[in-house]
Structure 1
Amino acid sequence: MTNLFSSFDPSASMNLPLNWMSTVIGMMIIPSSFWLIPSRISTLWNKITFTLHKEFKTLLGPYSTGSSFIFISLLSMILFNNFLGLFPYIFTSTSHLTLTLTLALPLWLSFMIYGWINQTTHMLAHLVPQGTPPILMPFMVCIETISNIIRPGTLAVRLAANMIAGHLLMTLLGNTGSSMATMLLPILLITQILLLILESAVAMIQSYVFAVLSTLYSSEVN
């Protein structure tokens, strides 16, 4: 039987004084902006968000009532989720259509409802591109309608498919390591590192593409 006061012992399992971690764990919860001079990382993130704000405002147009804040939030959420998925044993939520469709469908639906209620003539004009011959007009209306309806699907599938493809390739290559010859292992490691760099780039690009296309769909409504 252990002593009654053993719960106050500083050493946990493996004789490591991990219990002292509770002293600083509170500091990790408090945002650094409250107790630190803005670090280089926070300054860099502020610059990135400001640049994105300027770009999204340009895409939304001068007469737009939409805010760039929602699209920056969307980009950062997808970006963090994509990057987290690159770490081992962490679930990649953006590789599932459950999440990507949940983001894409309400956005697209809200743009459509707003557009058709407030800008009906403008939305109807969008169905026929400028300079279309009268004979092709019925076909153009069908094509434009279909392309408009499949937009949330393409947004969701693009993000999910890109996340799945890279992760699957890395997993398949990683699983072949145990059955490979020792001489070929350095080549496999180099390939995996290059793939990881590529996946990091894809994680950034896909979040940016999702946000930019959402912004463009929003700007079409106004």
Structure 2
Amino acid sequence: MMTNLFSVFDPSTSIYNLSLNWMSTMLGLLLIPMTIWLIPSRSFVLWNSIMFMLHKEFKTLIGHKNINKGSTFIFISLFSIIMFNNFLGLFPYIFTSTSHLVMTLTLALPLWLSFMIFGWINNTQHMFAHLVPQGTPPALMPFMVCIETISNMIRPGTLSVRLAANMIAGHLLMTLLGNTGPSLSMMLLNILILTQIALLILESAVAIIQSYVFAVLSTLYSSEVN
């Protein structure tokens, strides 16, 4: 029996006490046919063009002076895995891993930590200069250092909470509307079905947008340490 509305998102599927919820993160690999690696199909051409567009976008964000060969691939892979998991969460009875902070923090925290370690070891003077924006009055410099430090420290939290909150909000709304279905008349039920379809289309757009936002913000954070 549910104790609250959010308990529907708790991990519960198991076989012999072996949790199967996180298996949904690997299901994206099953959607890719084996022939896609051998024969250029339409899906391969489409996916390749999307990856090339993302590569150009991330290369522009990082900056041509600071870019190394292959540095955009980590952000393209990040976009891919988040988008796959967001879309898989829209299917019935599939665990939405990106709606949990365990998953989103696992992606955001190591990225941010690696950027900080790289920046403070290799570009220490630049990192110190970044704490005080250009043109700040001398009287406000101590406060700006505190504000910039706090804003830098909460970056992995904001990245992970933004993704998890956007994923769980739409799913929660669809769950609440779906639970009212058995008590509605036929006319209201048709309206509910159309509303659910519209929400599903909206959630599909949110799945793409949130994965893109996560990858773009990670790219911007990496460009600041160079």
TM-score of the aligned structures, taking structure 2 as reference length: 0.83
Q: CA deviation at 1:183?
A: 1.8
Q: Secondary structure at the match of 1:55?
A: helix
Specify every segment of 5 or more residues in structure 2 that has no aligned partner in the other structure, as ranges: 1-30
Aligned to 2:157: 153
- Stretch moving more, 175-184 or 94-103: 175-184
Per the alignment, residue 82 of structure 1 pairs with 86
Shift of 1:162: 0.4
Q: CA deviation at 1:34?
A: 4.9
Cα displacement (A) at 1:63: 2.0
Q: Work out whether residues 99 and 167 of structure 2, in 8 Å CA contact, stay in contact via their aligned partners in 1.
A: yes
RMSD: 1.4
Q: In the alignment, what sits opposite 1:113? A: 117
Mapped contact 2:59–2:67 kept (Cα < 8 A): no
CA deviation digits over 1:75-132, x for unaligned, max 9?
A: 0000000000000000000001001000000000000000001101100010000111
Instruction: Return the letter of the residue paired with 2:146.
Output: C
Structure 1 runs not aligned, ≥5 long: 1-27
Match of 1:101 in 2: 105
**Cα distance change on mapping 1:48 and 1:30 into 2, 3 Å:** closer
Q: Give runs of ≥4 in structure 1 deviating > 2 Å.
A: none
Counterparts in 2 of 1:30-179, with a 5 A limit? 31-35=34-38, 37-66=39-68, 67-179=71-183
Cα distance in 2 between the residues matched to 1:69 and 1:159: 21
Q: Match for 2:103: what amino acid?
A: L
Question: 2:159·2:214 contact (CA, 8 Å) conserved in 1?
Answer: yes
Give, as a single letter, the amino acid of the residue that structure 2 aligns with 1:178.
P
- Whether the aligned pair in 1 keeps the contact of 2:87 and 2:207 (CA below 8 Å) is yes
Aligned pairs, number = 194
